[in-house]
Amino acid sequence: MLPEVTATRYVTPLREGGSLPGLVEADDLGTYVMKFTGAGQGRKSLIAEVLCGQLARHLGLRAPELVRMWLDPVIGLSEPDEEVQGLLKASGGLNLGMDFLPGSLGFDPLAYEVSPQEAGRVVWFDALVNNVDRSWRNPNMVVWHGDLWLIDHGATLIFHHNWAGAQKAADRPYDASDHALAPFAPDVASAAADLAPEVTEELLDRCAADIPDEWLTDEPGFTDPDEVRAAYSRALAPRARTIHERITLGEPSKDRPSQAPGWLTGKGGDAK
Ligand SMILES: Nc1ncnc2c1ncn2[C@@H]1O[C@H](COP(=O)(O)OP(=O)(O)OP(=O)(O)O)[C@@H](O)[C@H]1O
Ligand SMILES: [Mg+2]
């Protein structure tokens, strides 16, 4: 089970996030980014955060540690923003906390170089979980102490919105043309050779075990939380074996700022 903490102070909303995550202090004196069950994306996006966050870290990718975070909406009473008030009121009980990386900067492809090996591992991982939200428009990565960290896995595991088609979804291709790391020549083949053998049903079961029961009860078509957990493992294990054959790295959408200006790279060329 994930460690458990209780929120003690709502500090501020993180305005860039569509789901309005909040910066929150907890009774372990830690500071966390809190993702709320009452947010528009609902508990499925929190389930995706847990499963992908745990899997990423088991595979040696950097992703902030996660905690189960209890919220008494009363801590937001002095919060002047009505939207935040509403979110806190709708999220009493169990929410997700993510270790806050203080001083981290949003990933900028023009300012931070990623090796083909690391880019390959991230692209392969995103293909596995079908992450549609790590594009150059919205990279959902930060740089902290000189390293690249993955955040925001809410928009993954799309198959869990339609369990009837989940097994077929395992065969779907992944178009990485607009991926934020596509310009770094991702070595997907090496990543697959290293990582795919690790993504066994056992590992997936261990990661799924960290999804709180509270978010898995009442899932239509399943009798109990463990049955839902097993369905995640069954969908992902076969995909891990073959997904590298179906990753496309084609031309990005036209408007990507793919070239660093010459004055920055020292290589000459147009600033675009
Ligand atoms: N663990 C963290 N440490 C530091 N900053 C973070 C962390 N998690 C998120 N952030 C900051 O908060 C912003 C919003 O977080 P996140 O992307 O997870 O929210 P979201 O609502 O899911 O966003 P989106 O709009 O991409 O759906 C990030 O872009 C980043 O700047
Ligand atoms: Mg985001």
Q: What is the mean pLDDT of the chain?
A: 92
Residue 266 has pLDDT above 50, yes or no: no
Residue 261 has pLDDT above 60, yes or no: no
Domain ranges of the chain: 4-104, 106-248
Residue 126 CA to its chain's centroid (Å): 9
With the most atoms of ligand 1 within 8 angstroms of its CB, the residue from 45, 104, 152, 156 to mutate is 152
The mean per-residue pLDDT over the stretch 130-142 comes to 95
pLDDT band per the 50, 70, 90 thresholds, residue 270: very low
Which token pair is 239? 């995909």
Which token pair is 218? 């009442």
The mean per-residue pLDDT over the stretch 156-168 comes to 93
Task: Give yes or no for residue 87 CB within 6 A of ligand 1.
Answer: no
pLDDT band per the 50, 70, 90 thresholds, residue 99: very high
**Closest C-alpha residue for ligand 1 atom 20:** 17
Radius of gyration (C-alpha) of the chain in whole angstroms: 19
Which token pair is 9? 């102070």
Task: Give yes or no for residue 67 CB within 6 A of ligand 1.
Answer: no
pLDDT band per the 50, 70, 90 thresholds, residue 252: confident
Q: How far apart are CA 25 and CA 151, in angstroms?
A: 19
Is the alpha carbon torsion for 11, 12, 13, 15 positive or negative?
negative
The pLDDT value recorded for residue 272 is 32
Q: How far apart are CA 264 and CA 180, in angstroms?
A: 19
Query: Do 176 and 123 form a contact (C-beta atoms < 8 A)?
Result: yes
The mean per-residue pLDDT over the stretch 10-19 comes to 87
C-beta atoms surrounding 231 within 10 Å: 20
Which token pair is 211? 């999804």
The pLDDT value recorded for residue 87 is 94
Query: Do 123 and 181 form a contact (C-beta atoms < 8 A)?
Result: yes
